[in-house]
């Protein structure tokens, strides 16, 4: 049995109730955010909540002000876990109100290097890509394809700008620069991406945004992905071109150290 929190109550996950008449189920009107939580706290909680509030405002949905830090700690204890992937899920109910769930799941293993391929589809400039919406079937399709084929898809827009994968932001290593697709593009401004941009550098590498296209890949020496749970995900190949996994191992450790320190600071800000 797994325990979740739903609208003020701790429940067995099998007891959750959402009417089939709810717009959240019928139209996918809802938003979510996923973060890493441990006995120390939930990493970058304030940033996750701020982004969630802005997304909910699009649908004129209410955000429930709760002590999510304490709720997450209680869920960890009730489920007997030391750490977890914690999802705050807000779904529009049949009364056009907001049902809020806090749902833990195992944090999973250390990330394995991924193989990236370019998508044959091109995105338009739709606002939905800037938000984590429960209308997630498009992402889920590519997540399943990645699990089936062993290759993650890197999306592009109609101008061939590089964007992101279904679950992570992209960073490319070129010379002494670490480049990530510009925030003006149709992609999610991920929490970890924003933290690395705030850090500005990692050792001799300068971190910044740029409008990147498929043509820029010829100059790339390495790559990695980021998301809130796995943080740094090495990329072993991109469009069939292999990268040296050992060459940037020290950089990966440096990036993880930066994020761990910034996460500790975020615990204090969330108190």
Confidence at residue 217, expressed as pLDDT on a 0 to 100 scale: 93
Q: Tens digits of per-residue pLDDT, 91-108? A: 999 998 999 999 999 988
Report the distance separating Cα 148 and Cα 146, nearest Å: 5
Q: Across residues 190-213, what is the average pLDDT?
A: 97
pLDDT exceeds cutoff 80 at 271: no
Report the distance separating Cα 90 and Cα 59, nearest Å: 11
Rounded to 5 degrees, what are φ and ψ at 132? -95, 95
Q: Tens digits of per-residue pLDDT, 74-93? A: 999 999 999 999 999 999 99
pLDDT exceeds cutoff 60 at 157: yes
Confidence at residue 270, expressed as pLDDT on a 0 to 100 scale: 55
Report the distance separating Cα 140 and Cα 142, nearest Å: 5
Confidence at residue 126, expressed as pLDDT on a 0 to 100 scale: 93
pLDDT exceeds cutoff 90 at 20: no
Q: Between these two residues, 127 and 108, which has the higher pLDDT value?
A: 127
Would you give the DSSP letter of residue 62? -
- pLDDT bucket at 52, cuts 50 / 70 / 90: very high
Confidence at residue 268, expressed as pLDDT on a 0 to 100 scale: 62
Q: Tens digits of per-residue pLDDT, 209-261? A: 999 999 999 999 999 999 999 999 999 999 989 998 789 999 999 999 999 99
**Average pLDDT, whole number, for the chain?**
93
- pLDDT bucket at 117, cuts 50 / 70 / 90: very high
Sign of torsion over alpha carbons 241, 163, 191, 33: negative
Confidence at residue 266, expressed as pLDDT on a 0 to 100 scale: 86
Least confident of 17-21, 116-120, 202-206, 233-237: 17-21
Report the distance separating Cα 172 and Cα 152, nearest Å: 15
What angle, rounded to 10 degrees, do the helices at 45-58 and 68-79 form? Answer: 110
CA angle in degrees (0–180, nearest 5) for 143-117-236: 95
Shortest CA distance to 60 belongs to which of 32, 98, 23, 88?
98
% of the chain exceeding 90 in pLDDT = 83
Q: Across residues 66-73, what is the average pLDDT?
A: 96
Q: Across residues 160-168, what is the average pLDDT?
A: 97
């Amino acid at each position: 049995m797994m325990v979740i929190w739903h609208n003020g109550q701790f429940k067995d996950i099998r007891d959750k109730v959402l009417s089939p008449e709810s717009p959240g189920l019928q139209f996918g009107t809802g938003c979510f955010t996923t973060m890493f939580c441990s006995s120390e706290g939930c990493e970058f909680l304030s940033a996750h909540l701020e982004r969630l509030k802005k997304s909910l405002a699009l649908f004129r949905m209410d955000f429930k002000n709760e002590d999510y830090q304490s709720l997450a700690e209680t869920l960890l204890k009730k489920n007997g876990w030391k750490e977890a992937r914690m999802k705050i899920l807000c779904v529009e109910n049949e009364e056009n109100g907001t049902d809020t769930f806090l749902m833990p799941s195992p944090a999973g293993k250390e990330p394995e290097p991924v193989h990236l391929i370019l998508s044959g589809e091109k995105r338009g400039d739709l606002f939905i890509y800037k938000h984590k919406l429960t209308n997630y079937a498009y992402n889920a399709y590519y997540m399943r394809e990645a699990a089936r084929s062993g290759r993650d898809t890197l999306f592009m827009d109609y101008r061939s700008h590089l964007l992101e994968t279904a679950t992570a932001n992209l960073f490319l290593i070129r010379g002494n620069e670490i480049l990530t697709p510009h925030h003006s593009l149709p992609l999610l401004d991920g929490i970890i991406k924003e933290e690395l941009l705030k850090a500005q550098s990692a050792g001799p590498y300068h971190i910044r945004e740029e409008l990147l296209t498929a043509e820029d890949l010829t100059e790339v020496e390495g790559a990695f992905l980021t998301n809130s749970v796995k943080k740094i995900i090495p990329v072993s190949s991109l469009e069939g071109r292999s990268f040296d996994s050992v060459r940037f191992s020290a950089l990966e450790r440096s990036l993880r150290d930066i994020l761990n320190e910034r996460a500790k600071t975020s615990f204090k800000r969330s108190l």
